[in-house]
Amino acid sequence: MRLRNITGSREVIAESPYVVPEDTLEACPGTWHEIFGNDHPIHIEIGMGKGRFLNTLAKQNPQINYVGIEKYSSVLLRAIQKMEEDELSNLKFIRMDAEDIDKVFGKGEVDRIYLNFSDPWPKD
């Protein structure tokens, strides 16, 4: 996927109710059930791209909470735009580098991890 910088994407992400704010991520371990407001299992996708896979799963499985992690703002913006069409209460997004994932989720808090097409060699 070719990345194009989209002006203002960081601002849209920061204001989106579907995105967990970057400045609150360190307080998230152990609180994901509170963030979602239920005790459903938590599945995450690392490198979710435009969010089609997680969006489909969230629609099909309302009894599971999903968290999509994406490093690139312009790509995450597309997933947010899809969420505005299909508001799903069991899907949240995080804009971050997955290298820091252990700082965002507590031990045993995640039930399943999806690694579909994450980029093992990110570009500058």
Location of structure tokens 């507590």 = 106
Residue with tokens 């899907």: 91
SS3 assignment for 62-105: CCCEEEEEECCHHHHHHHHHHHHHCCCCCEEEEECCHHHHHHCC
Rounded to the nearest 10°, the torsion over CA 50, 78, 87, 116 is 10
| 119: annotated active-site residue | yes
Q: Which of 23, 100, 119, 124 is catalytic?
A: 119
Residues with catalytic roles: 119
